[in-house]
Amino acid sequence: MSDATDPWLIVGLGNPGPDYAANRHNVGFMVADLLAERIGGKFKRAQKAQAQVLEGRIGPPGPASRRVVLAKPMSYMNLSGGPVTALRDFYKVPTDHVVAVHDELDVDYGMLRLKLGGGDNGHNGLKSMTKAMGADYHRVRFGIGRPPGRMQVADFVLKDFSSTERKELAFLVDRSADAVECLLAEGLERAQSAYNS
């Protein structure tokens, strides 16, 4: 069982490279980048895993501050489990202190859902993580909604956010980063009541 002194591993899920940077599937990277900005650090290549990492602290100075490792797997979405598990083991992070930030089809655009454990709902990044280390990690699910018409899910998630969606995107990414900070500082129930919409 984890305790308050254990580090947290915050994983933004996405695909590496400029072609994917603004895709719906990369909203996890966007939230991780904002958290890195708030910490005041820069990602660097991990020595022990195919990922970019940043170590720091989140929260107000003092006992409420949490030691964190922010990570962006560089393995492509469907292989995220390998780098995440390697980082979890290297930094000695309990699985229930791992937080995956990811896009979620079954939640309306801009809505958030936080939870611990559960299924992968067809999300290849979660599928890979669960296969590698079990399902008992936290998820911050950023709603992207379902594809319009007959568009295939794979095409939809690998498209950039629409111009209408982009008008709110910075605010929503900011809110997601707030939700991660609340989860670490105040626990899942408090974060759910404040941010689940």
DSSP 162: P
- Total residue count of the chain as it appears in this document: 197
77 burial type by CB count under 10 A (0-12 exposed, 13-18 middle, 19+ buried):
buried
CB neighbour list of residue 145: distance below 8 Å, 6 or more residues apart:
105, 107, 108, 109
Instruction: Return d(Cα 99, Cα 28) in angstroms, integer.
Output: 11
Q: Which helix (H) or strand (E) holds 166?
A: helix 163-186
- The active-site residue, picked from 25, 97, 102, 138, is 25
Task: Dump strand ranges (E) for the chain.
Answer: 8-12, 44-45, 51-58, 66-73, 98-104, 112-116, 138-143
Contact 103, 176 (CB under 8 A): no
Contact 14, 72 (CB under 8 A): yes
Active site residue 138: no
Residue that the structure tokens 């933004």 belong to: 12
Catalytic machinery residues: 25
